[in-house]
Amino acid sequence: MAKDRGKYYITTPIYYPSSNLHIGHTYCTVMADAMARFKRLAGYDVMFLTGTDEHGQKIQKIADEAGLSPQAHVDKIVEGIIELWKTMEISYDDFIRTTEERHVKRVQEIFRRINAAGDIYKGAYEGWYCTPCESFWTDTQLVDGKCPDCGRPVEKAKEDAYFFRLSAYADRLLELFATNPGFLEPESRRNEMVAFINQGLEDLCISRSSFDWGIPVPGDEGQVIYVWLDALSNYITALGFPAVDGTDGEDEKYRKYWPADVHLVGKEIVRFHSIIWPAMLMSMNEPLPKQVLGHGWLLLDGGKMSKSKGNVVDPVKLIERYGVDALKYFLLREYTFGQDGLFTNEVLLNRLNADLANDLGNLLSRTTGMAEKFQGGAVYKPGTGDYGEPALDEAGSLVDSDLKSVAVSVAATVEAHMDVFAFNHALEEIWVLIRRSNKYIDETAPWALAKDPAAADRLNQVLYNLSEALRIVSILIYPFMHYSSAEIRRQLGLAGSQVAWADAQAFGICESYALTKGEALFPRIDVEAELEALEAEAAAAAAAAEAPAAEAAEAAPGKAEIEYDDFDKIDFKVGKIVEARRHPDADKLLIFQVKIGAETRQIISGVAGSFAPEDCVGRNVIVVMNLKARKLRGEESKGMLLFAEDGERLAFVTTDAPDGETVS
86 vs 93: CA distance, rounded Å:
12
162 vs 112: CA distance, rounded Å:
12
45-74 positions binding ligand ME8, by CB under 6 A: 53
Q: Is 324 in the site for ligand ME8 (CB under 6 A)?
A: no
Among 8, 9, 16, 213, binds ligand ME8 (CB under 6 A): 16
Q: What is the DSSP string of 175-208?
A: HHHHH-GGGEESHHHHHHHHHHHHT-PPPEE-EE
User: Which C-beta is closer to ligand ME8: that of 57 or that of 234?
Assistant: 234
DSSP-assigned beta bridge partners for residue 540? none
- Count of residues that bind ligand ME8 according to CB under 6 A: 20
384 vs 331: CA distance, rounded Å:
42
Of 25, 15, 19, 647, nearest to 298 (Cα)? 25
| DSSP strands (E only) in 191-334 | 204-205, 207-208, 216-217, 220-225, 262-266, 292-295, 298-300, 303-304
> Which amino acid, 394?
E
Q: How far is the CB of 96 from ligand ME8 (least distance, A)?
A: 10
Q: How far is the CB of 228 from ligand ME8 (least distance, A)?
A: 7
The span of 13-21, 192-200, 423-431, 610-618 binding ligand ME8 (CB under 6 A) equals 13-21
Asked if 639 contacts 625 with a C-beta cutoff of 8 angstroms, the reply is yes
What is the helix (H) or strand (E) element at residue 496, kind and residue range?
Answer: none
User: Which C-beta is closer to ligand ME8: that of 268 or that of 372?
Assistant: 268
Among 8, 9, 10, 13, binds ligand ME8 (CB under 6 A): 13
What is the helix (H) or strand (E) element at residue 592, kind and residue range?
Answer: strand 590-596
Q: How far is the CB of 454 from ligand ME8 (least distance, A)?
A: 58
- Here's the x/- map for ligand ME8, 479-498, by CB under 6 A: it reads as --------------------
Longest Cα–Cα distance in the chain: 109
User: Which C-beta is closer to ligand ME8: that of 319 or that of 494?
Assistant: 319
Q: How far is the CB of 267 from ligand ME8 (least distance, A)?
A: 6
The answer to whether the peptide bond before residue 390 is cis (omega within 30 degrees of 0) is no
Measure Cα distances from 57 to 60, 131, 225 in Å.
5, 7, 11
Q: Is 265 in the site for ligand ME8 (CB under 6 A)?
A: yes
Asked if 440 contacts 507 with a C-beta cutoff of 8 angstroms, the reply is no
161 vs 138: CA distance, rounded Å:
16
DSSP 663: E
148 vs 155: CA distance, rounded Å:
13
Give first-to-last CA distance, the chain, whole Å: 75
Among 9, 10, 14, 473, binds ligand ME8 (CB under 6 A): 14
User: Which C-beta is closer to ligand ME8: that of 217 or that of 265?
Assistant: 265
Q: How far is the CB of 268 from ligand ME8 (least distance, A)?
A: 6
Q: How far is the CB of 49 from ligand ME8 (least distance, A)?
A: 11
Q: Is 132 in the site for ligand ME8 (CB under 6 A)?
A: no
Among 32, 110, 269, 494, binds ligand ME8 (CB under 6 A): 269
Please state at what angle helix 324-334 crosses helix 482-492, rounded to 10 degrees. Answer: 120
Q: Is 27 in the site for ligand ME8 (CB under 6 A)?
A: yes
The span of 66-74, 262-270, 318-326, 348-356 binding ligand ME8 (CB under 6 A) equals 262-270
Among 85, 137, 163, 297, binds ligand ME8 (CB under 6 A): 297
Q: Is 33 in the site for ligand ME8 (CB under 6 A)?
A: no
Burial of 562 (0-12, 13-18, 19+ CB in 10 A): exposed
Among 9, 15, 162, 423, binds ligand ME8 (CB under 6 A): 15
The span of 20-28, 420-428, 459-467, 497-505 binding ligand ME8 (CB under 6 A) equals 20-28
Among 41, 63, 215, 231, binds ligand ME8 (CB under 6 A): 231
250 vs 412: CA distance, rounded Å:
38
Q: How far is the CB of 653 from ligand ME8 (least distance, A)?
A: 32
The span of 9-17, 352-360, 415-423, 485-493 binding ligand ME8 (CB under 6 A) equals 9-17
Q: How far is the CB of 189 from ligand ME8 (least distance, A)?
A: 12
User: Which C-beta is closer to ligand ME8: that of 318 or that of 494?
Assistant: 318
Q: Which residues bind ligand ME8 (CB under 6 A)?
A: 13-16, 24-25, 27-28, 53, 231-232, 234, 265-266, 268-269, 297-298, 304-305
